[in-house]
Amino acid sequence: MRIFWTALLTGAFSVFAFSAEPGFVSLFNGKNLNGRQLVNGKGPGYIVKNGLLVCPADGGGNLFTDKEFCNFVFRFEFRFEPGGNNGVGIRAPLSGDIAYQGMEIQILDHDHERYKGRLKPTQYHGSVYDVFPAKTGYLKPAGEWNSEEIVADGRRIKVTLNGAVILDVNLDDMKDPAVLAKHPGLKRTGGHIGFLGHGTLVEFRNIRVKPM
């Protein structure tokens, strides 16, 4: 049973605690986008519909938390249309290409026909985009809800999808100087959390975080 309470987090939006998840607070109240800011928005950006946070097919952009986080557990549920493409920016600045200036954990219907033969292993769902590849085989079909957890704990990044660990890496294990030069965001110790929309329909719910 969920216990609801209202508080101010950075003076911006209401949050509620999950009694089954001590220490977690919600980052989405199901009513509006308070506590978030849209950067490089496209079309309508993100909208709230039927209690869901929605990146419409004609929208997108980077929807960041006002608050910054260093080490955290971030949990959410998502579903996408066939071919859906989005991402989770972590330890992100508010400007630049987040996949490089911060880090992007890929959200992608990578088995869709449009991506066949076009993806590198580091572009599949759950990967640290263009750096570390995630395991595949745990993503539910388009239209079904997926549950995901991202843990950022110092140099460790762990992604769990539908109960299966698909990524568990130490950022310091990346030694390739070309990759490191291309991804200065790997050195960041904190920043914003955001959804990175790419012009496809993706819906989110139960978005919450536990600072560590």
pLDDT in tens, 29-77: 999 999 999 999 999 999 999 999 999 999 999 999 999 999 999 999 9
Phi, psi of 42 (to 5 degrees): -125, 135
Evaluate whether residue 115 is within a structural domain.
yes
Evaluate whether residue 92 is within a structural domain.
yes
Place of tokens 């750096």: 131
Residue 13: pLDDT over 60: no
Task: Work out the mean pLDDT of the chain and round it to a whole number.
Answer: 91
**What is the pLDDT at residue 107?**
98
Q: Record the tokens describing residue 197, joined without a space.
A: 């929309």
Evaluate whether residue 149 is within a structural domain.
yes
CA 165 from chain centre, in angstroms, equals 16
CATH code for the domain of 30: 2.60.120.560
Residue 12: pLDDT over 90: no
Evaluate whether residue 90 is within a structural domain.
yes
Domain with 49, as residue range(s), is 17-211
Place of tokens 């572009």: 123
Residue 3: pLDDT over 60: no
pLDDT single digits (tens) 68-124:
999 999 999 999 999 999 999 999 999 999 999 999 999 999 999 999 999 999 999
**What is the pLDDT at residue 16?**
38
Stated pTM of the model: 0.89
For 5, 16, 30, 181, the CA distances from 203, given in Å and listed in that order, are 25, 20, 12, 33
Residue 17: pLDDT over 60: no
Evaluate whether residue 3 is within a structural domain.
no
How far apart CA 116 and CA 98 sit, in angstroms, is: 24
Reported confidence tier of residue 10, pLDDT bands at 50, 70, 90: very low
Evaluate whether residue 4 is within a structural domain.
no
Reported confidence tier of residue 20, pLDDT bands at 50, 70, 90: low
pLDDT single digits (tens) 160-197:
999 999 999 999 999 999 999 999 999 999 999 999 99
Evaluate whether residue 8 is within a structural domain.
no
Place of tokens 């790997």: 186
Evaluate whether residue 5 is within a structural domain.
no
How far apart CA 27 and CA 193 sit, in angstroms, is: 10
Other Cβ atoms closer than 10 A to 84 = 23
**What is the pLDDT at residue 180?**
98
Mean pLDDT, to the nearest integer, of 119-139? Answer: 98
- Split into its structural domains, the chain has a count of 1
How far apart CA 27 and CA 24 sit, in angstroms, is: 10
**Which residue in 78, 54, 50, 83 sits closest to 162, CA to CA?**
78
Bridge-based pairing state of the strands 61-65 and 103-108: unpaired
**What is the pLDDT at residue 21?**
85
